[in-house]
Amino acid sequence: MTINYRGTVPNKEEFYQLYETTGWNANGTFTKEDLFKAISNSWYLISVYNDEKLIAFGRIISDGVYQTFIGDMIVHPDYQNRGIGSKILNLLVEKCKESGIKWVQLSSARGKIDFYKKLGFQERPIDGPGMQKFI
Ligand SMILES: CC(C)(COP(=O)(O)OP(=O)(O)OC[C@H]1O[C@@H](n2cnc3c(N)ncnc32)[C@H](O)[C@@H]1OP(=O)(O)O)[C@@H](O)C(=O)NCCC(=O)NCCS
């Protein structure tokens, strides 16, 4: 097994297959094209390959200075719990540091809070939570 971490946009089909492992698009809100356009517009991203197969992904959406969000952290179920998610998150945060970014936010999926806590992220204050609206 040869794991490579690359700062390049993955293939549309391969990304869609990886994304489907999360169940986040179970009701089909986003098409394959939507998701490819979305990731292509990232400020920075990491695609992880085992040989040439895409097995994990993570990205940053940022204005490069002030507002920065990490999203779409995905490790294929067959490759979870081997340190790959941590490595991606550390590479993304390192890229922010190199660029002088001082504040990084993310929304934790259910049940993943402890993963992010282990890597130094803190929950927002209870009276200042993240907010959302589907439109
Ligand atoms: C969350 C996710 C990215 C973690 O990636 P991973 O490669 O499995 O994580 P790692 O192997 O780097 O784990 C690092 C540490 O976090 C812990 N950890 C991993 N997932 C965890 C979880 N769900 N809850 C608590 N701890 C977790 C590991 O046990 C490990 O601890 P250790 O350092 O003490 O051994 C991966 O499970 C995933 O892709 N899940 C499905 C998609 C998802 O929900 N993504 C998060 C979106 S916010």
Is the pLDDT assigned to residue 71 strictly greater than 90? yes
Domain 3-118 in CATH 3.40.630.30: yes
Instruction: Kindly state if the Cβ of 74 falls inside 6 Å of ligand 1.
Output: yes
Q: Is the CB of 2 under 6 A from ligand 1?
A: no
Cβ of 99 closer than 6 Å to ligand 1, yes or no, is no
Q: What is the mean predicted confidence (pLDDT) over 18-41? A: 97
**pLDDT for position 30:** 96
Per-residue pLDDT, averaged over 59-87, amounts to 98
- Alpha-carbon gap, residue 45 to 60, rounded angstroms: 6
Under 8 Å between Cβ of 40 and 72: no
Quick one: pLDDT band at residue 1, thresholds 50, 70, 90? confident
